[in-house]
Amino acid sequence: MSNWASHAPASTADTATSAEAELGNLPTWRLEDLYPSRETMQFKEDMGKALNQAQAFEKRWKGKLADAAARTGDDGLGAALEEFEQLEDLLGKIGSFAGLTYFSDTSDPANGKFFGDVQAKLTEISAHLLFFALELNRIEDHLVDAAIAKDSKAAHYAPWLLDLRKDKPFQLDDRLEQLFLEKSMTSAAAFNRLFDETMAELRFEVDGQQLPLERTLNMLQEPQEPVRRKAAEALSKTFKENLRVFTLITNTLAKDKEISDRWRGFEDIADSRHLANRVEREVVDALAAAVREAYPRLSHRYYAMKAKWLGMEQMNFWDRNAPLPETPNALIPWEQARETVLSAYDRFAPEMADIARRFFDEQWIDAPARPGKAPGAFAHPTVPSAHPYVLVNYLGKPRDVMTLAHELGHGVHQVLAGSQGALMCQTPLTLAETASVFGEMLTFRALLDKTADKRERKAMLAQKVEDMINTVVRQIAFYEFERKVHTARKEGELTAEQIGELWLSVQTDSLGPSIRISEGYENWWTYIPHFIHSPFYVYAYAFGDCLVNSLYAVYQNAEDGFQQKYFELLKAGGTKHHSELLKPFGLDATDPSFWSKGLSMIEGLIDELEALDRA
């Protein structure tokens, strides 16, 4: 960390231009690898081909899958599955191109129209394919098992077929499923788009400058308290001004989910997410309980230490991610971030670094933070016939380097799992965070091992602890907030004030007495995209962090062969349950003590910080 480029403390008057110059040449992604443009004949022909093939598929196979299960060859179930998978890959490619184009600049009306039109067309096409999974689940299990036994093509898809059975109790009849699919365009999908476009248009005034969300949030990591306070006040002000639309979106989506869950017969408000994640409710409940029980040992304890380091009795909520005085005050150029992550990956396994390097060399990354671009970061797998893409909003902070390591971990995972094909490459969310959090840990440990200076080591450890608290404690608090909102919504529409009270209740519990929560913070639930796009997604982060903490402990004590087992886990995609994937490492997420082991690593880092402070 000591060789970071020198950079004066940022002020609100600094221009984006000078900072961008310091960061170096930030890459933008090559969406041409999917399609040259939305206007090309290739894209238009694929749209037409997808519809024609879906209609032909429906005509050929609908009502005939039970008979196909008794046959092999071109008329057998395996042939139908192959054809279905090819269609899924084509549709995924089209949808990925439209989505990534839109997220490149959500403020561009042309992008919004393109994305909306493509979504509508894909919904129309998918309606012709909807019968397939529903009809498969109406075939007697023993007939499908027999097809798997005698048809080599069907046997290839056995994990997908067996996994599909878990959805059987929650399926509706074909007409209702088609209605749910088609109405999604004017319900959940529409309100998701409204959220994205509203958020992209928001501006936050700081010292006369109109800043987008990402740059304003980034100011909460500035060393000067007045800068952080002004950013927090600007965020609170704009959130409050737009409270009405965010309250409407939240109420509508919660009610939409409640209707769907009721029709499908889910007992608990999060059961549909647990099913999608292929994880048992009891496992998630145990995780949430373990984290809540650890609040005093983790976040409460750490924030009390940090308040003392910052010379405060109590920190304001905008000080939570403030850098310590020991933190090097520098912008990290893009090239340095690239080498930091790749060298850490290479140290673990050259194969891992080779895959990650392709994201840089072949322009699979979009890095600049620009107006209209989707905030935050993600890795989009697209489809196995193409390659993943990574979006970050790189501003040169140490946390941005860790975000890059995180998203590249996803990218490596997606490349390796791609060999499973379009139907089986998707990893359940509970394990989807494994490679990303592991990549962060590799990068952190590599940097820590090279840091001899006590003050820098303290700053690095503190930042890692904060990131882990944000990943584990904060995400479980988010999960508890969602549970409260969705439970309360069953009794009627919620006002913004009621949602704010629920938000403050979980934040107060999780942050502890060393964080002062003042006026304005009650509306900060508004900007969290996971609540909108993926209800109850957030516990997957805590699941992944605790899992990786345990996995990394195994790695530290392992003899040769860990890397090979790790790559086998990533390559499995969605073909195996988490219990089967973790067994080679001697780990079991159903064991109540499993979560305590993961949390103890965070506690250990806090112990190390305390010891450094005393030394």
Domains delineated in the chain: 31-186 (1.20.140.70)
Cβ partners under 8 Å of residue 461, min gap 6: 448, 605, 608, 609, 612
Tell whether the model's pLDDT for residue 6 goes beyond 80.
no
Q: Is the separation of the CB atoms in 28 and 367 below 8 Å?
A: yes
What pLDDT band is residue 245 in, cutting at 50, 70 and 90? very high
Give the pLDDT confidence score for residue 578 in this predicted structure. 87
Query: For residue 17, is pLDDT > 60?
Result: no
Q: Are strands 365-366 and 389-391 parallel, antiparallel or unpaired?
A: parallel
Give the residue from 150, 151, 128 showing the smallest Cα distance to 74.
151
- Average pLDDT on 272-281 reads 91
**What share of the chain in percent tops pLDDT 90?**
79
DSSP-derived pairing of the beta strands 389-391 and 315-316: unpaired
Q: Is the pLDDT of residue 16 over 70?
A: no
Q: Which pLDDT band, with edges at 50, 70 and 90, does 1 fall under?
A: very low
- pLDDT in the model for residue 216: 95
- Per-residue pLDDT at 341 exceeds 60: yes
Q: Is the pLDDT of residue 296 over 50?
A: yes
- CA dihedral sign, ordered 306, 310, 312, 316: negative
* Cβ pair 93, 383 in contact under 8 A: yes
Residue 252 and residue 266: Cα distance in Å, rounded?
A: 19
Return the exposure string of 111-145: e unless at least 16 CB atoms fall within 10 Å of the residue's CB, then b. bbebbbebbebbeebbbbbbbbbbbbbebeeeebe
Residue 349 has pLDDT above 80, yes or no: yes
Q: Is the pLDDT of residue 329 over 90?
A: no
Nearest C-alpha neighbor of 397 from the set 104, 23, 27, 29:
23
pTM for this predicted structure: 0.83
- C-beta separation of 318 from 232 below 8 A: yes
pLDDT in tens, 21-75: 789 999 999 999 999 999 999 999 999 999 999 999 999 999 999 999 999 999 9
Pairing between β-strand 209-211 and β-strand 204-206 as defined by DSSP bridges: antiparallel
**pLDDT tens readout for residues 459-516:** 889 999 999 999 999 999 999 999 999 999 999 999 999 999 999 999 999 999 999 9
